[in-house]
Amino acid sequence: MISRNLAFKLALLTVSGVACLVLYQLWNRPVTQKDVLIASIIDNWQQAHASDHRFRILPEFNNDAVLDTDTDLIWEIAPRPTAITWNEARSTCVTRDTGGQKGWRLPAPAEMRSLVGPAVDSPIPNIPPGHPFLNIQPTAYWTVVPESNQPSYAKYVDAFLGNVLSFIRIYTYPAWCVRGPIKLDKQ
């Protein structure tokens, strides 16, 4: 009869071996059509959203704001990095005086997603290359949309992947304030 300790070690060795085999196969797999398609989407997105024509720093906002000509939204050039609750984020944007201008708000999910491209292997958010923004944090940002079926939750956008997710409102993320007519979406 095999002792429990030996049986456990054999099971652990077997699981480790299978895991190594799977990882080896994944690492050495040939490039698939899906990989080519994803690379093409990322490349096309970056070309279609080239920063040199898309973003314009606004002198009338003391160069503290950027016009996105794709969406006609005005974004803070440097969102503050402080993580705050959703209610604090809403209040912060409403009272914000960036570039000597008032009238700021949290963005809708689609507006926030308009800045974030397809996921790439990078330690920083995937905002179009050459963008003029400063102080972009490797995190998520609050949006203006509360979660309709969970009153204590609100939506945020993952700045790396562009995913729209929900989390409890007392959790903290930074706020990146925007100006312009709100473009609500189902996200």
Q: What is the dihedral of CA 95, 136, 107, 111, to 10 degrees?
A: 150
Angle made by CA atoms 125, 104, 112, in degrees to the nearest 5 = 30
Instruction: Give the DSSP letter of residue 135.
Output: S
Angle made by CA atoms 121, 125, 129, in degrees to the nearest 5 = 90
Can you give the pTM of this predicted structure? 0.69
How confident is the prediction for the chain on average, in pLDDT? 78
DSSP code per residue over 52-87: HHHEEE-GGGTT-EEEETTTTEEEESS-----B-HH
Q: What is the pLDDT of residues 48-101, one digit of tens each?
A: 656 678 899 999 999 999 999 988 999 999 999 999 999 999 999 999 999 999
pLDDT at 22: 46
Which carries the bigger pLDDT value, residue 150 or residue 45?
150
Q: What is the pLDDT of residues 17-40, one digit of tens each?
A: 554 454 455 455 555 665 555 555
- Asked if residue 75 lies in contact with residue 65, where contact means CB atoms within 8 angstroms, the answer is yes
Q: What is the mean pLDDT of residues 140-168?
A: 83
In the chain, what are the domains?
Answer: 33-179 (3.10.100)
